[in-house]
Each structure stands twice: as structure tokens, then as C-alpha cells.
């Protein structure tokens, strides 16, 4: 058993070691960490030498994942009051009063230091700089500045969500390959239609939290049209690794199938104009990303890419 003073009213809360570990894992948003790892892994196979050794991959991905975990922890600290106003987020550890804000702040700082040290050790200064820059951009630019001020928050903030391939490439290869930049662009273009779909579905909650999300500012249908524009651009960019010969036909087929599927979902939302359909766009966007990056890994591992 471990006794940790974590209730917001200052009263000590006694919980098992297992529950304490689970609490701190939850703060890092494990689904986001899984996405970071999943999108960073293919970049390791798109270097000139191909996938590095297992031990090197482990440390590269660990440093990359810790950068994502640090971003989530510091974001949770800054947005704890806003999270308490939304049903989607009010059960997170801070709004649920399961841990002191200062603890989460220092947790995020420690994760930042660990990530930077590991990336510097395994990949050098560029990898460490990209990892640290990702945390600074996500927390300082997106969380603190963009998100509460502009409906373009997700568009610009998507840059932070797409850096896992850049970090992985820099750490594994000493530089950032064109393949890693294309993976970054895929995630960057995927982010607006992904988040705008849930912003339509959760429109009232974002309004209650005082976030100027695109649907709250320009309306649902105009937001859907913008999503369509990003999805078309995403479709074209997602095929670029195949067109350029960086990946083979398995990936090309996966990108084409996934692209048509995502386009169909967004067009369907434009036709039906129903937030429930937008919710299906949100869920489908995750399936799309899994299909595209899964096809990348199959192409790279099973078939050796091009």
C-alpha cells in the first residue's frame, strides 16, 4: 500500500500501489501515447538503413512516448478547470480531485526531462530538440494560447500532434527523412476533420468551457465543408509515399481504401447534417489512421517497402 496526499482538499487519500500507478498512467492519456508510438514506428523503417536494432527502437520510442506523456500531463494541469466543465473530461484525475495540481505539474516536468535526456542520449541534439520543441509548442502555443483564443486552434495545434515521426526519424537517423515529413503531414491534415467532428458532437460542452471551436464560431455545416477540404488534401498526401516509391503497393492500396472511406464519412456528414453522423466521422477517423499506418507497417516489415 502507498499513501499519497492527493485529494484537492488536502486530505490524504490512501490507495494501493496498483491504483496509484493506474492514476499516473491515466494522466498521460495512454490512448494518445499509443497513437504517438503507432505513428512514430513507421518512420523508423523509412530511414536509409531501415529499422534500427530492437534496443535502439525501444529507446527511441520510449523517449518519443515520454514526450507525448509530458505534453498530456502539462496540458491536464493547465486545463483542469476547463476539463471540469465538460462531461467528456470531468472524470480525468485532476477535475475528479484524485491528485493535487502541483503534483501533476511536477510530474509533467519530470517526464519532460526524462524524454529530453533519453532522446539526446539515443539520438543526439536534433531528436532532443524536436521532442522538447513538441512539448513546448503543445503546452505553450496550443494549450495556453491558441485553444482559448482562435477557432484555428486545432489546425495549428495539429503540428504538435504530428511530430512523433519527426522525433523518431531524427533519433534513428540523425536527420529527418522526407518519409517522416510526409507522415507528419498526414497526421497534420487528419487532425482538423478528426477533432471538428467531435467538436460538432460536443458543441455545447466546448461552449461551456469557453473554447472557440470552429462549429461554435462559424456553424456546423461550414465546419463540415472545411473538413471535406482537409480530407481531400489528406487523401492526396497519403498517397505520396507510394507515388515517390518510399512504400509499396500494399501501402498504396491501404491509403486509397482508407482515403475513400474517410471521404465517404465526411460527405455523409455534409448530407445528413446530424451530430450523430459527425460522431461516426470521429470514430471512423481513428479507424482510418489505424488502416493507413497499419498498411505502412505491413509494407515495411513484411514486404520490405518498395
Residue after which a domain boundary falls, among 147, 176, 205: 176
Q: Rounded to whole angstroms, how far apart are CA atoms 191 and 233?
A: 12
Last residue of a domain, one of 121, 150, 176: 176
Residue 9 forms part of a structural domain? no
Q: Confidence band (pLDDT; 50, 70, 90) for 26?
A: confident
**306 against 107, higher pLDDT:** 107
Cα separation, 197 vs 194, whole angstroms: 6
Q: How far apart are CA 220 and CA 269, in angstroms?
A: 10
**Per-state percent for the chain, helix, strand, coil, to nearest 5:** 75, 0, 25
Are 183 and 165 in a shared domain?
A: no
The predicted-structure confidence for 202-255, as pLDDT tens digits, reads as follows 888 888 877 888 999 999 999 999 999 999 999 999 999 999 999 999 999 999
- Residues 143, 100: one domain? yes
Higher pLDDT residue, 95 or 9? 95
On whether residue 6 sits in a domain, the answer given is no
Kindly state whether residue 119 falls inside one of the protein's structural domains: yes
Check residue 176 and give its pLDDT: 92
- Between 208 and 107, where is the model more confident? 107
196 and 171 part of one domain: no
Q: Binning pLDDT at 50, 70 and 90, where does residue 85 land?
A: confident
- Residues 38, 85 within the same domain: yes
Question: Residue 3 pLDDT more than 70?
Answer: no
In a domain, 71, yes or no: yes
The verdict on 155 and 240 lying in the same domain is: no
- What is the per-residue pLDDT across 271-302, written as a single tens digit (0 to 9) for each? 999 999 999 999 999 999 999 999 999 999 87
Specify if 12 maps to a domain: no
Q: How confident is the model at residue 303 (pLDDT cuts 50, 70, 90)?
A: low
Whether residues 121 and 206 share a domain: the answer is no
Q: What is the pLDDT of residues 8-21, one digit of tens each?
A: 344 345 667 887 88
Shared domain check, 183 and 141: no
Coil, strand or helix at 219: coil
Q: Are residues 28 and 122 in the same domain?
A: yes
130 compared with 16, residue with greater pLDDT:
130
CATH number for the domain harbouring residue 154: 1.10.357.140
CATH no. for residue 232? 1.20.120
Alpha-carbon gap, residue 19 to 292, rounded angstroms: 35
Number of structural domains (the chain) is: 2
Same domain? For 127 and 245 the reply is no
* Co-location of 194 and 255 in the same domain: yes
> What pLDDT score does 14 carry?
67
Q: What is the mean pLDDT of residues 134-159?
A: 85
Query: Is the separation of the CB atoms in 104 and 27 below 8 Å?
Result: yes
CA distances from 139 to 37, 40, 100, 108, 216 (A): 20, 20, 19, 11, 23
Domain end call among 148, 176, 204 = 176
Mean pLDDT over 60-66 rounds to 94
Whole-structure pTM value = 0.87
Domain that holds residue 240: 178-306
Q: Which of 160-169, 217-226, 264-273 has the lowest mean pLDDT?
A: 160-169
| 1 lies in some domain | no
Model pLDDT, residue 47: 79
Residue 4 located in a structural domain: no
On average, the pLDDT of the chain sits at 88
Q: Let me know whether 28 and 51 are in one domain.
A: yes
Residue 304's pLDDT is what?
59
pLDDT of residue 10: 43
Do 168 and 212 have their domain in common?
Answer: no
Is residue 60 assigned to a domain? Answer: yes
Residue 127 vs residues 54, 164, 176: alpha-carbon distances, Å:
18, 10, 9
Amino acid at each position: 500500500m502507498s499513501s499519497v496526499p492527493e485529494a484537492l482538499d488536502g486530505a490524504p487519500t490512501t490507495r494501493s500501489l496498483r491504483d496509484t500507478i493506474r492514476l499516473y498512467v491515466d494522466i498521460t492519456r495512454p490512448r494518445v501515447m499509443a497513437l504517438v508510438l503507432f505513428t512514430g514506428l513507421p518512420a523508423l523503417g523509412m530511414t536509409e538503413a531501415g529499422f534500427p536494432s530492437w534496443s535502439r527502437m525501444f529507446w527511441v520510442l520510449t523517449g518519443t512516448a515520454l514526450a507525448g506523456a509530458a505534453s498530456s500531463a502539462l496540458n491536464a494541469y493547465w486545463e483542469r478547470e476547463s476539463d471540469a466543465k465538460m462531461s467528456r473530461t470531468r472524470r480525468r484525475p485532476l477535475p475528479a480531485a484524485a491528485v493535487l495540481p502541483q503534483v501533476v505539474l511536477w510530474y509533467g516536468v519530470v517526464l519532460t526531462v526524462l524524454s529530453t535526456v533519453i532522446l539526446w542520449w539515443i539520438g543526439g541534439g536534433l531528436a532532443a530538440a524536436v521532442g522538447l520543441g513538441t512539448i513546448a509548442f503543445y503546452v505553450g502555443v496550443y494549450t495556453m494560447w491558441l485553444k482559448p483564443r482562435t477557432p484555428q486552434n486545432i489546425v495549428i495545434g495539429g503540428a504538435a500532434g504530428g511530430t512523433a515521426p519527426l522525433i523518431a526519424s531524427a533519433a534513428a537517423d540523425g536527420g529527418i527523412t522526407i518519409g517522416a515529413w510526409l507522415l507528419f503531414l498526414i497526421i497534420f491534415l487528419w487532425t482538423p476533420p478528426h477533432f471538428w467532428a467531435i467538436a460538432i458532437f460536443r458543441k455545447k460542452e466546448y461552449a461551456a468551457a469557453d473554447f472557440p471551436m470552429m462549429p461554435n464560431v462559424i456553424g456546423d455545416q461550414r465546419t463540415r465543408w472545411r473538413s471535406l477540404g482537409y480530407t481531400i488534401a489528406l487523401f492526396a498526401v497519403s498517397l505520396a509515399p507510394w507515388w515517390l516509391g518510399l512504400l509499396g503497393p500494399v501501402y498504396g492500396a491501404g491509403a486509397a481504401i482508407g482515403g475513400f472511406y474517410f471521404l465517404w464519412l465526411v460527405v455523409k456528414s455534409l448530407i445528413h447534417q446530424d451530430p450523430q453522423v459527425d460522431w461516426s466521422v470521429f470514430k471512423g477517423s481513428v479507424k482510418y489512421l489505424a488502416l493507413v499506418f497499419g498498411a505502412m507497417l505491413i509494407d515495411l516489415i513484411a514486404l520490405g517497402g518498395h
